[in-house]
Amino acid sequence: MEFFQIVSRGQARNFMNFLFQNIRDKFSKFKKDQSGVVALIYGPMTLMLLIAAGIAIDYSRSYLVQREISRALDAAVLAAGSLAITDETEMKALAKKYFDANISENTKQKYNPQINTVVGTDTLTVTSSATVPTFLMYLAGHENVEVGARAVAGRTLVNLEVALVLDNTGSMSGSKLSSLKSAAKKLVETLYTPTGSENYVKFSLIPFTGAVNIGTGNENVSWFDKNGLSTAAQEDYGSSFTYWSDNQYDGMTAFEALNHFNVNWNGCVRARIGSAVNENGDTVDLDLWDVEADASDPNTLFAPHLRPLKDYYDTTWWGAQVKPSDSDIRSWLNNYNGSCPQRSILPLTNTKSTIDTNIESMIANGGTSVPIGLIWGWRSLSSHAPYTEGVPYGTDNTRKVIVILTDGQNDHGYYTSNKMGGYYSAYGMPYQQHLGTGWLGNELDDKLETICSNVKSKGILVYSITFELNDTNTQNLMRNCATRNDMYFNSPDGSSLQDAFDEIATGLQKLQLKQ
């Protein structure tokens, strides 16, 4: 935002020239007067001292009034210019409100300064002036001093694409999830309150746990690996899948297994395995970069999140003494995929009611994988598959933003070679070693750190929040993930969480103005 203040220096110079010309004229006449000798000595000096005192006093008074007006105009243009308001009447009313609030009652009563607001295509201009009566300067023929100022703000509105990446894990249940819903919906309400905001603001919603849910309606999209061709899909089913000793169902894909046992896919997906070349020509890990999904490279597709059925029977822990019935398998498949969030991702939209409905319907369950949430937040802002609602990076007048919140540390337990041990998540089972060995949260922390860096390298602004979380390591990770330190918020309770979202809303409103 750019501000301009005009002080009447030219007027001051003109006035001083006028004043001293007046003094010279009066002194010239006084010199010709022969009526008193003492007056010749002291008269001119007294007159000049009085006028000088008058100049000092009256100029100081007028300067103070001018400075107060200037500050009030700055407040007015900042308030009216920093909000995504497109209605001219609203802008003028807001500018007057802030101007009046920053003018003292004494100044209002004595000088009654008024504000004039002009709304242009790209600028907002506010001006004001006042007349200050003089005490002694009238001796020089100048009874009033006119003071005024002007402030100008650029008003080129830009588009906002905001991804809300919100923790939906089991620890968020109860009042914590309620507080999150209220705070998130108020942020949306604030951004959509100004008239015409729906033309400039879009939100996506990414509820995350140990995985994300892309929605069962995406079963047949081109970027989903329904046919089990990717490494991630083959790892759980396909060539790795052997059913009992009769080999009747060897090689079934996840969807063939789902259909056979009459179980519905829950909509969640695995993290991608392998590497590919990104848009910069660099070879990157597919779970750490938003590489476009391309059917010509199956590993760039997204495989279904379905715990390997072999974990149920192909283990010495289970004993493998009796072939399980189809109903046993069906029950197991339904019960052992709990790290999948029930609320699916909402792609970018400017329909406020849809955003509110999706926020309100979030349900707490499952474990915590913050990097999974963050990379899908990144994908939701993209212009290429899997989501294409975002404009291309670098598009003029568009800013992309991620707001990410978690209430816990990355947690998938410890590595175990036991096929029945540990959590099944987007990164598979612990024995598959995609998160290394030992405490699996360490590898997730590393992934989060890398994804944060990658996201910011694309010019995406990141606000991060920890909620009722005392883990110093996670706090530092989230602080470092934010674009700036003041864009990280540690919220110990629901009230401070609301304050954090309010500050973010204010920041987003200011982002809408071209700086």
3-state secondary structure of 413: coil
Using the 3D structure, point to which of 154, 189, 204 is the last residue of a domain: 154
Its pTM stands at 0.76
- Lookup: tokens for 312: 């149920």
Min mean pLDDT across 12-26, 119-133, 248-262, 480-494 is at 12-26
The proportion of the chain whose per-residue pLDDT surpasses 90, expressed as a percent, equals 51
Domain count, the chain: 3
The CB-side HSE value for 390 (13 A sphere, CA atoms) comes to 29
- Let me know whether 66 and 205 are in one domain: no
Nearest to 355 by CA among 512, 217, 191: 191
Using the 3D structure, point to which of 321, 339, 357 is the last residue of a domain: 339
Q: Is the pLDDT of residue 325 over 90?
A: no
Query: Does some domain include residue 428?
Result: no
Helix axes 370-380 and 440-457, enclosed angle (nearest 10):
20
24 confidence band (pLDDT: 50, 70, 90)? low
Query: Does some domain include residue 146?
Result: yes
Per residue in 230-244, pLDDT (tens digit) is: 999 999 888 766 665
The CA distances from residue 222 to 212, 254, 295, 300, in Å, are 18, 17, 7, 11
Residue 33: how many CB atoms within 10 A of its CB?
10
pLDDT score at 46: 59
Q: Is the pLDDT of residue 487 over 80?
A: yes
pLDDT (mean) for 456-469: 97
Query: Does some domain include residue 218?
Result: no
- Let me know whether 466 and 355 are in one domain: yes
3-state secondary structure of 127: strand
Domain containing residue 304: 225-339
pLDDT (mean) for 312-333: 66
pLDDT score at 1: 34
- Let me know whether 360 and 453 are in one domain: yes
- Let me know whether 171 and 259 are in one domain: no
pLDDT score at 2: 33
- Let me know whether 106 and 209 are in one domain: no
C-alpha triplet 204, 210, 216: angle, nearest 5°: 55
Most confident of 44-53, 93-102, 208-217: 208-217
- Let me know whether 504 and 365 are in one domain: yes
Query: Does some domain include residue 107?
Result: yes
How far, in Å, CA of 233 to CA of 426, rounded? Answer: 11
Using the 3D structure, point to which of 339, 367, 401 is the last residue of a domain: 339
- Let me know whether 368 and 394 are in one domain: yes
- Let me know whether 348 and 325 are in one domain: no
pLDDT score at 5: 34
Nearest to 307 by CA among 419, 385, 173, 171: 419
Residue spans of beta strands (DSSP E) within 393-478: 398-406, 461-467
- Let me know whether 363 and 449 are in one domain: yes
227 confidence band (pLDDT: 50, 70, 90)? very high
Q: Average per-residue pLDDT in the chain?
A: 84
Sheet with 123-133: list strands edge to edge.
Answer: 114-119, 123-133, 144-154
pLDDT (mean) for 377-384: 97
pLDDT score at 159: 92
- Let me know whether 320 and 402 are in one domain: no
Min mean pLDDT across 184-193, 253-262, 416-425 is at 416-425
pLDDT score at 3: 32
pLDDT score at 121: 67
The CA distances from residue 482 to 404, 405, 453, 489, in Å, are 9, 11, 10, 9
pLDDT (mean) for 140-162: 81
How far, in Å, CA of 404 to CA of 377, rounded? Answer: 8
The bridge status of strand 461-467 relative to strand 488-491 is parallel
Query: Does some domain include residue 323?
Result: yes
Q: Which CATH number does the domain housing residue 461 bear?
A: 3.40.50.410
How far, in Å, CA of 318 to CA of 303, rounded? Answer: 27
- Let me know whether 370 and 470 are in one domain: yes
Q: Is the pLDDT of residue 97 over 80?
A: yes
- Let me know whether 84 and 138 are in one domain: yes
Query: Does some domain include residue 283?
Result: yes
pLDDT (mean) for 488-505: 96
Q: Is the pLDDT of residue 144 over 70?
A: yes
Place of tokens 């140990």: 210
Query: Does some domain include residue 421?
Result: no
Structure letter (DSSP) for residue 143: -
Chain-centroid distance of CA 15 in Å reads 52
Query: Does some domain include residue 129?
Result: yes
pLDDT score at 80: 79
Specify which residues 202 forms β-bridges with. 161
Per residue in 161-179, pLDDT (tens digit) is: 999 999 999 999 999 999 9
- Any idea of the CA torsion for 344, 350, 353, 357, to the nearest 10 degrees? 10
pLDDT score at 357: 98
